[in-house]
A and B are shown apart, each in its own frame.
Chain A
């Protein structure tokens, strides 16, 4: 199993540009989520999904959209990038119920100039 994969690893955007961060998992996990991490901070939850077709907002959802058309994929879209969205983005997945650990991807480092 590849686990949780994220692409791209690095990205530089200009203010106002849009892009999609990709996340995929091959563990048949129902629950997927996106976090951002700013320097010296812990991770903050952006959006999450408890299954295909179901998404909800986390702690810091503004400026981001998500969709979940399949169990495997959970893309994060930035419609109009802003410098405040410069951060490292982590995708994670786990089984929806029960005492299961969360698996994290390697992260995408995004810079918005």
Chain B
């Protein structure tokens, strides 16, 4: 699986957009970009995923560069409840070991009042 690189921490003001970057320069053509988050002491929660087109759902937007070597997760109006560790993961959509999630250390996002 491709390795991902994320900043260890970021701050964001409440109500502002939070833009979380992720580098995945060795991503393969069949690998998707997934974002999960983990609020303190809870199990990780799926946010969004994409292959090459930008994606949006009720939680966030995902912007993937044209060369697919990096992406940005956007929380449009961050709230205090969005304070969490955010993980960027790339994986192929196959079963077996190729479908495993490999978590790095993620980015700790702190949303401040």
Contact = CB atoms under 8 A, between A and B. Distances in A.
Interface in A24-73: 30-31, 33, 35, 40-45, 48, 50, 56, 58-59
Contacts of B99: 31, 96-97
Interface residues of A, number: 30
Contact of A102 (B46, B97, B106): B46
A30 to B, nearest CB: 8
A2 to B, nearest CB: 13
Question: Which of A43, A50, A58 has most chain B Cβ within 10 Å?
Answer: A43
B60 to A, nearest CB: 13
B42 A101 contact: no
Interface of B: 32, 34, 36, 41-46, 49, 87, 93-97, 99-106
Interface of A: 4, 30-31, 33, 35, 40-45, 48, 50, 56, 58-59, 88, 90, 92, 96-99, 101-107
Given A92-B44, A102-B101, A106-B42, 4 more contacts: A41-B105, A90-B43, A96-B95, A105-B43
